[in-house]
Chain A
């Protein structure tokens, strides 16, 4: 459209024609002055405003600061002409930022455009919010945006924009978005047939799910299913293939989303993912000539490897991945080397064993000398992650050697990492001191204060180290040019421990003094004042150089620096006191060990993330570090008390043992970390299962359910849209359930989702053998198989949650009729056998008994056939001729479980016609089974009477 405004074209041409920058500026200033005047005069029509605002935008794009036109842009937005509106919105998104005061003025216009029936205007408005949306806009407009996203009448391109806009608003102001409440509705959009919509919604869900893992749990299945459809079934619109790779962006996002969740327990989902990952890895085996195709394929592959590592770092898949990575890091293509090293660092951060990586240590170290700094950085990160006690000397040595030639941009980070590794994996404290002093002398400028503080802290807390440290520092100080950090360490260490080496030749007090003082003149005031403190300590221990020292104090009393002057005066007075005065001695007592504390170095690594940012799924460093991080990440969602790991770190002992402990303790103690991980997982499982969905209530829901508890097939649920039926077969501790989902409506049920919540998956596992399809065509049935296994005695029914879109979003939660009696096997017993066992088991607690009302049949007689049907339906053998009373029923069965073995169970039912009551007695060797069987049988018979 710029072409349609001649003035604008001319303006651009003029600026392009300007030979020098001054002319360009002159032309722009002239134009801006003119525009300012026009705006001031007012009375401009839409076309003029549009033209001037466009000029302002162009000026802004050239990088000039513009301070006019905001108001006109606001006016243009409410114009009824699209071309004006569009320029207005462009100006708003470019010229304003989220804190701009002008934005208040556009909220109403934006709302008007959002509510309009014109999709193109909706999009302009959404786009503006997504770019400059403030928390104020979030409050005012979040509902409207959400409506556009979920409305069934919204076009795909509106949905896409709405999803990303909602994401922006959530990032700016998470409180206004009821993320958990909207969860199931939003996740259902992941089944949208339009892949563009799926990409955008997945972006949104990635962010929301990170903060609400439980509420968005369904997205795990959806993501796995979608990946399967993309990668294996090749089910996508041809236009979404990018150089023959099915939408790599979507694949990458889905693979990343799956990494936000702990690995799933569901065997079906696991095998689906395994198949997907395997296929992705196989696909990459055939490199292609097309750069674009290769890029896309690798993008997916690297994310797939990350997911494989996340799922199980010991799986054979990861073995394959390690081989691939090894090939990548010596690839000719720089991008591939870069990403290969990056992904390897992920592997190193997670894997139990670093051995497969150590095979390539040589290649990795060579990568430190790659021609590309980006690759060098990745190599450094990887070496940092793969360092352990065995190879620390080699790696630290290599890093130190490289440090001397490393890029300046890299040095500070290297120093920090070397310092941490040296501390973490020190094999002996001498090595530690050697390395850290080498580090300080090699890269003085890049050594942060926290590094040398830490050295001093460790030396002070380690008696055995002090003499050695003093010597080594002395030797390092002999170098012709030394860095200030080293002088500081030297000043401190020699001041405290110089007397330990003073008797050895070459280390005499005079030598020490002369060496240190020769450095003083090159140092800044703060270092000099530290040296003054050293001198006063020496006055105490080295009487032979006292005169020289006092001389120095004397001179420093006249320097300009206040701090130095004060110290000099005080020390001078202190040193000049008579020799028998104990004051000096007391002041210069040796430093006590420092209280234990967390290394400041790690503090720098431990900084917190912003709340609504996408989080990384791993960090550089060893396995323990990652475990620790995961735990701290999960803690807030679990609401458990944070434990005091941080304070229990390190000890201040003086023996070598505890020194090593305090060195190791720098990285929050690994034993505490790994010991706790399993218990955390249990917590997590418990907390997620305790949040069972609310059951759907209906007049017949209980009736259908009760009937199915003692029969093998029937209807479980039915309403106007859907019918759910069941056929089941049980054998021993295993069972197979076929569930039929019938769509009764004339429109398809889309975004169909079925999930199972088992309260205690340790006792009863119920899983779909396949991920259910996401669509059920009108008037058809979809059959799904459930694999059921009874591992232990369980007491609650699993819950099936079905949700789908049929106009609106619907969700049904019903209990699945799987009780312990399903795993019973009927047992035939004679009268004698029965009573012998009956007595053997004995009364409470292994007996469960209750009395409850029962219904009579139409002839007001006991409904004996019904009773028999229920008991045998619960898979108990009805034993004839055991009880003399023909109305009574006696039964026996054995429960099969895969973990706890078999449990026998006996039952006696004594109905009474007159009282319309019935007494039920169940005895079993397991009290849980007795109680459970009583509950199941009573449930059905009692319900008859009501």
Chain B
């Protein structure tokens, strides 16, 4: 099973974190720990790392053979890191990282670190189409981007339906869209100003 998916940049700042197992300690320290393990490994070493050090964060592994393994890949300024247990094939996970990156690339067109920052929710939705609850959900990039697009579409529609000034097809969308009164929409804009 995949226990965590992490993306951080080469300075160790997390850009996406997703845990499929409850943590025993703060996620921040876990990320720092993994970053310190990985960042010292020069290029050319293998993409797998046994990490008994993680037991403090993710709980002990009962069996001596059963270890937390870190599978990671470096793309430009980003590290993609998956924490897995012995039931996963290492190379399979490595391939999965590639699939995830390809899926991100499709969604953002030449994905870069900034996309992950400003569209963190989108990145999570894409991840959700690849991995669910720690298990591989889909590996076909076409299939993944289809699902992502479909979700984006219904989101746009519902968003449009929330905006009475929009004349888009959103009104009467999939859920019949409960229209807000223009007044409600206006007050929303007004009160929102302070927060922005």
B121→A339 contact, CB < 8 A: no
| Stretch from A290-298, A432-440, A898-906 forming part of the interface with B | A290-298
A295→B94 contact, CB < 8 A: yes
B188→A47 contact, CB < 8 A: yes
Known A1-B122, A2-B118; contact A45-B45, beta-carbon cutoff 8 A: no
**Which secondary structure dominates chain A's binding surface?**
helix
Q: Does B31 contact A (CB under 8 A)?
A: yes
Bitwise interface map of A from 442 to 482 toward B, beta carbon under 8 Å scored 1, else 0? 00000000000000000000000000000000000000000
B159→A4 contact, CB < 8 A: yes
Interface residues on A, range: 35 or more
Residues of B near A239 (CB, < 8 A) are 140-143
A45→B95 contact, CB < 8 A: no
B48→A604 contact, CB < 8 A: no
A90→B124 contact, CB < 8 A: yes
Q: Which of A86, A127, A165, A614 has the most CB of B within 10 A?
A: A86
B120→A1 contact, CB < 8 A: no
A619→B65 contact, CB < 8 A: yes
**A112-135 contacts to B (CB < 8 Å):** 118, 120, 123, 126-127, 130-131, 133
Bitwise interface map of B from 49 to 81 toward A, beta carbon under 8 Å scored 1, else 0? 110110000000011111000000000000000
Q: Does B36 contact A (CB under 8 A)?
A: no
A54→B121 contact, CB < 8 A: yes
Residues of A near B184 (CB, < 8 A) are 45
**B2-25 contacts to A (CB < 8 Å):** 14-18, 20, 22
Q: Does B39 contact A (CB under 8 A)?
A: no
Known A34-B195, A130-B132, A296-B95; contact A338-B138, beta-carbon cutoff 8 A: no
Q: Does A729 contact B (CB under 8 A)?
A: no
Instruction: For residue B164, give the distance in angstroms from its CB to the closest CB of chain A.
Output: 12
Bitwise interface map of A from 702 to 722 toward B, beta carbon under 8 Å scored 1, else 0? 000000000000000000000
Known A7-B196, A63-B17, A82-B157; contact A2-B120, beta-carbon cutoff 8 A: yes
Instruction: For residue B125, give the distance in angstroms from its CB to the closest CB of chain A.
Output: 7
Determine the distance from Cα of A62 to Cα of B8 in the docked complex, in whole angstroms.
Answer: 10
Q: Does B34 contact A (CB under 8 A)?
A: no
Residues of A near B18 (CB, < 8 A) are 94
Known A616-B66, A619-B65; contact A252-B92, beta-carbon cutoff 8 A: yes
Known A82-B154, A608-B62; contact A335-B128, beta-carbon cutoff 8 A: no
B133→A168 contact, CB < 8 A: yes
Known A3-B119, A45-B180, A57-B121; contact A375-B137, beta-carbon cutoff 8 A: no
**B64-121 contacts to A (CB < 8 Å):** 64-66, 85-87, 89-92, 94-96, 98-99, 117-121
Determine the distance from Cα of A413 to Cα of B159 in the docked complex, in whole angstroms.
Answer: 56
B65→A292 contact, CB < 8 A: no
Q: Does A500 contact B (CB under 8 A)?
A: no
Question: Which residue of A82, A374, A416, A613 is within 8 Å of B50 (Cβ)?
Answer: A374
Residues of A near B89 (CB, < 8 A) are 252, 256, 299, 302-303
3 closest pairs, A vs B, by CB? A130-B133, A614-B87, A299-B91
A-B contact pairs, 26 of them (CB 8 A): A3-B118, A7-B192, A10-B196, A34-B194, A48-B191, A48-B192, A82-B175, A83-B155, A86-B125, A86-B155, A94-B18, A118-B175, A157-B147, A161-B137, A165-B133, A167-B133, A168-B135, A239-B143, A248-B91, A298-B91, A335-B46, A335-B90, A337-B46, A374-B48, A610-B62, A616-B66
B-side residues, CB < 8 A to A, are 1, 14-18, 20, 22, 26-28, 31, 41, 44-50, 52-53, 62-66, 85-87, 89-92, 94-96, 98-99, 117-122, 124-125, 128, 132-143, 147, 150-151, 154-155, 157-159, 161-162, 174-175, 177-178, 180, 184, 188, 191-192, 194-196
